[in-house]
């Protein structure tokens, strides 16, 4: 059996056509996946996202849908929520890590007995993952946080501060 590709590469129109041919030939998702060098779950997901009961799987429609989805702008949760953004900025200014911030927000949202930390904006039950916080930080223009007085510590040392 061929070794599966490591990493994520998008399905091409050719891949989608091969999936359609495999479906018409009555092959299983595992068989189609093995032929394409893809995991069977990718084939299953593609079929279920892009099939209808009446028309089945159509590679042209599936490819168009994937293209629309790729072009769609993704709004970051923190950018679209002023309350959440102010809370995350306040926590970063207090030298908290994204993991600590996400954990505290989750705790405040799920446990009513936990009070908001003093002098911090109330997140009003909102939560965000640490990954989303990191993506938000790295998407900011260089020096944006430093202009706000927020300096992030680098992982490598306790002394040096990194301007991101």
In a domain, 8, yes or no: no
In a domain, 25, yes or no: yes
The pLDDT of residue 124 = 83
In a domain, 160, yes or no: no
The pLDDT of residue 70 = 81
Q: How many whole angstroms separate alpha carbon 146 and alpha carbon 7?
A: 34
In a domain, 21, yes or no: yes
User: Are residues 118 and 61 both part of a single domain?
Assistant: no
pTM, two decimals, is 0.52
Residue-wise pLDDT tens digits, 82-92: 989 999 999 99
The pLDDT of residue 153 = 66
Name the 3-class secondary structure at 4.
coil
Angstrom distances, CA of residue 104 to CA of 81, 113, 117 = 17, 13, 9
User: Are residues 129 and 100 both part of a single domain?
Assistant: yes
Q: How many whole angstroms separate alpha carbon 19 and alpha carbon 140?
A: 40
- Say how many domains are in the chain: 2
In a domain, 139, yes or no: yes
The token duo for 97 is: 């890590």
Domain that holds residue 97: 82-148
In a domain, 5, yes or no: no
Question: Which residues of the chain fall below pLDDT 50?
Answer: 1-3, 5, 159-162, 164
């Amino acid at each position: 059996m061929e070794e599966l590709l490591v990493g994520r590469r998008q399905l091409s129109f050719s891949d989608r056509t091969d999936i359609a041919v495999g479906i018409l030939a009555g092959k299983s998702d595992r068989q189609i996946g093995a032929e394409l060098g893809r995991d069977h779950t990718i084939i299953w997901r593609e079929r279920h996202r892009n099939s209808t009961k009446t028309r089945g799987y159509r590679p042209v429609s599936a490819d168009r849908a994937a293209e629309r989805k790729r072009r769609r702008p993704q709004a970051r949760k923190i950018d679209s929520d002023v309350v959440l953004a102010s809370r995350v900025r306040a926590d970063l200014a207090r030298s908290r890590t994204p993991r600590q911030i996400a954990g505290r927000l989750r705790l405040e949202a799920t446990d009513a007995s936990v009070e908001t930390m003093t002098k911090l904006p109330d997140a009003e039950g909102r939560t965000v993952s640490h990954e989303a916080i990191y993506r938000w930080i790295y998407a900011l223009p260089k020096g944006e946080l430093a202009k706000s007085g927020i300096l992030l510590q680098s992982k490598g040392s306790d002394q040096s501060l990194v301007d991101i």
